[in-house]
Amino acid sequence: MNSNQVIPAAEVTVDPAAFRHVVGHFASGVTVITTVVDGELFGTTASAVSSLSMEPPMMLACLNRSSSTHDAVQQAGVFGINILAEEQSELAMKFGRKGGDKFDGVAVTFSKEGVPLLDGALATIVCRVEETPTGGTHTVFLGLATEASAGNGEPLAYFRGTFGRLERVRELAAYNAVRDWVLRRRTPLRHELDPAVIAAETKSDPQNVHNALVKLTAESLVTRGDKGEFLPTPITHELIDSVYDGRATIELGVLASHFGKFTDEDIAELGRLTEELGKLRESGKDGLDEFLKLNVKYHDRLVNVAGSAQLTDAFRRLGIGTVWRQALGGDEWARQMDHSHIAELTAALRDRDEARAVKALGLHTAFGKKLASDVIERHGGEV
Ligand SMILES: Cc1cc2nc3c(=O)[nH]c(=O)nc-3n(C[C@H](O)[C@H](O)[C@H](O)COP(=O)(O)O)c2cc1C
């Protein structure tokens, strides 16, 4: 097969969603690929970057043809690879989005060729494009390194959709697995959460599982019993109100402080997610998992507009959607999960109408609380 051949769809054997999940297990560093065309600066976050050859010194970077940085690199014939340091996750998020002036407020130093290099990057390499084979949706830019320098520090790591230090990323993966375990009620209410069993089942380090249970205790999702054992905390009306209010406060804050930052791409993506949510509701009973996942994506995308990894992280930690998986039976969910306020919120964002967006978000929160409250009531006051 020559390098420009695209694999026909009929030969694709792995489901794209499953493939994305599996590939996410490959831990990588994070870079920002930068370039300049006629004085205009371009940059995109990229993890599909690798060293290629030592003699001559070559690197490769894979960029989606839909990326504007892709076209700019092709035109400029030169690009910078900025390997991000562990404290630069906000830059990774900023350059991982489309539109806006990504370089606004970002300190750069220009290379001899005029390529902007991010100050504070762990290492930077400037490359001249040598070859551009393609694969699937991407162009592989093979570049000859013309400048390279490295500083001191630790790299930003990327693993299963999360940024962090490598050790921190493992801790976080364990935390997410334990949280999911607790909220899916894999250990029923009033039964002891056994760290050894959870560690074995989730293939996590037992110490990380213990730490996750302690953290979940602080977050009111786990309770310590008389003998210090860990027990799942029942979700009650009070707990629901506090997490829904916490999430609403973050989202309202994003609308209030960053309303002007919603790009056309953000709104188009929120529109696409809204449409998919609608379709899933119509499709009925088997779609709850998918509905909840899309719902998470929708709210994440909204909060991401603030460009703060910490805020997104705090927001995610207030999500308890998985508890509904076992509480809502059969096709009941499709009747219950009204998403009309989300549709209204998306429409208000599209019309750039902040007051309407705030109102829709308020109604959405009230609806979520009411639905949750009804489910809890039907389960005798706790889930
Ligand atoms: C952690 C992370 C890694 C990414 N890796 C790549 C990559 O290797 N190649 C790519 O084309 N896009 C990658 N992206 C997506 C682009 O950054 C994103 O599509 C961006 O909006 C493109 O911006 P542009 O159109 O202004 O160039 C990545 C995003 C993130 C957050």
Residue 314: C-alpha distances to residues 298, 303, 304 (Å): 16, 10, 12
Residue 220 has pLDDT above 70, yes or no: yes
Q: Which of 366, 163, 118, 352 is nearest to 248 (CA)?
A: 366
Nearest ligand 1 atom to the CA of 163 is: 1
Which CATH number is 166-232's, of 3.90.600.10, 2.40.30.110, 1.10.10.10, 1.20.1090.10?
1.10.10.10
Segment 149-171 shows an average pLDDT of 83
82 close to ligand 1 (CB < 6 Angstrom): no
What pairing do the DSSP bridges indicate for beta strands 222-224 and 78-83?
unpaired
| Cβ atoms 117, 34 nearer than 8 A | yes
pLDDT of residue 235: 92
Q: Is the pLDDT of residue 338 over 90?
A: no
> Under CATH, to which class is 9-158 assigned?
mainly beta
Ligand 1 center from residue 204 Cα (angstroms): 29
Q: What is the pLDDT of residue 3?
A: 46
pLDDT band at 10 (very low <50, low <70, confident <90, very high): low
Distance (Å) from CA 99 to ligand 1 centroid:
12
Ligand 1 contact, 158 CB (< 6 A): yes
Those residues with Cβ within 8 angstroms of residue 351's Cβ, 6 or more apart along the chain or in another chain: none
Q: How many residues does the chain have?
A: 383
> Residue 205 C-alpha to ligand 1 middle, in angstroms?
31
Answer yes or no: is the C-beta of 45 below 6 A from any ligand 1 atom: yes
pLDDT value, residue 139: 98
Residue among 44, 95, 98 to mutate when testing ligand 1 (max atoms within 8 A of CB): 44
pLDDT of residue 284: 66
**Does the Cβ of 48 fall within 6 Å of ligand 1?**
yes
Contact 330, 217 (CB under 8 A): no
In this model, does residue 371 exceed pLDDT 50?
Answer: yes
Question: If you average pLDDT over residues 229-256, what whole number do you get?
Answer: 94
Closest listed residue to residue 143, CA positions, set 83, 39, 73: 73
Across 109-113, 264-268, 312-316, the highest mean pLDDT is recorded for: 109-113
Range 54-76 average pLDDT: 97
- For CA atoms 188, 192, 193, 195, the dihedral sign is negative
What whole-number distance in Å separates Cα of residue 378 and Cα of residue 184? 18
Sign of CA pseudo-dihedral 33, 255, 269, 338: positive
Report whether pLDDT(294) > 50. Answer: yes
pLDDT at 1 over 60: no
98 ligand 1 Cβ < 6 A: yes
Question: How many A from CA of 98 to the centre of ligand 1?
Answer: 9
User: For the segment 30-60, what is each residue's pLDDT rounded down to a tens digit?
Assistant: 999 999 999 999 999 999 999 999 999 999 9
Higher-confidence position of 15 and 215: 215
Closest residue to atom 10 of ligand 1, CA basis: 63
Fold agreement (166-232, 237-378): no
Q: Which of 20, 45, 71 to mutate to test the pocket of ligand 1 (most atoms within 8 A of CB)?
A: 45
Model confidence band, residue 149 (pLDDT cutoffs 50, 70, 90): very high
Instruction: Name the residue of 20, 67, 75, 300 to mutate for ligand 1: max ligand atoms within 8 A of Cβ.
Output: 67
Buried b (16+ CB within 10 A) or exposed e, 340-364: ebbbbbbbbbbeeeeeebbebbeeb
Segment 18-34 mean pLDDT: 89
- In this prediction, residue 4 carries a pLDDT of 53
C-alpha 79 – ligand 1 centre gap (Å): 15
Instruction: Please report the pLDDT score of residue 330 as a whole number.
Output: 57
Average pLDDT over residues 84-106: 92
Residue 8 has pLDDT above 60, yes or no: no
- CA 354 – ligand 1 centroid, Å: 29
Domain ranges of the chain: 9-158, 166-232, 237-378
- Amino acid identity of residue 189, one-letter, is L
Query: Minimum mean pLDDT among 85-89, 121-125, 246-250, 335-339: which range?
Result: 335-339
What pLDDT score does 2 carry?
45
Residue 313 has pLDDT above 60, yes or no: yes
Q: Which amino acid is at 58?
A: M
Distance in Å, CA 75 to ligand 1 centroid: 18
Rg, Å, the chain Cα set: 23
For 187-213, how does the pLDDT look when each residue is reduced to its tens digit (9 = 90+)? Answer: 999 999 999 999 999 999 999 999 999
DSSP state of 34: E
Residue 134 CB partners (closer than 8 Å, separation 6+): 3, 4, 6, 65, 140
Angle of helix 206-218 relative to helix 195-202, nearest 10 degrees? Answer: 120
Q: Is the distance from CB of 115 to CB of 36 less than 8 angstroms?
A: yes
| Residue 81 clears pLDDT 50, i.e. is over it | yes
Tokens for 314?
A: 């705090």
Does ligand 1 have an atom closer than 6 angstroms to the CB of 68? yes
3-state class of 320 per DSSP? coil
Judged against a pLDDT cut of 80, whether residue 336 lies above it is answered with: no
pLDDT at res. 211: 95
Average pLDDT of span 331-336: 67
237-378: CATH number: 1.20.120.530
Is the CB of 97 within 6 Å of ligand 1?
A: yes
- Give me the mean pLDDT over the 235-260 stretch: 94
DSSP summary character for residue 84: P
User: What are the tokens at 161?
Assistant: 């959709």
13 vs 187 pLDDT, higher one: 187
